[in-house]
Amino acid sequence: MKRGLGIGLGALGGYAYYALVGCATGACPITSNPWITTGWGALIGLTASA
């Protein structure tokens, strides 16, 4: 339960980062794609909840 919540909040935070900050040029390897940014957020959320 705790890990799932961490993953969900991390993914939400990752997508929010993409939507609010993102990458204007599209040349940024992590923030140019919403799937990658959401995945990194979920991974960080998993790590933080462990």
Q: Report d(CA 50, CA 41) in Å as an integer.
A: 14
pLDDT exceeds cutoff 90 at 41: yes
- What pLDDT sits at residue 24? 81
Q: Report d(CA 8, CA 25) in Å as an integer.
A: 28
Q: Report d(CA 20, CA 30) in Å as an integer.
A: 14
Is the pLDDT higher at 40 or at 25? 40
Q: Of 33, 7, 29, whose CA–CA distance to 19 is shortest?
A: 33
Maximum alpha-carbon separation in the chain: 38
Joined tokens for residue 19: 């939507």
pTM tops 0.75: yes
Average pLDDT taken over every residue of the chain: 92
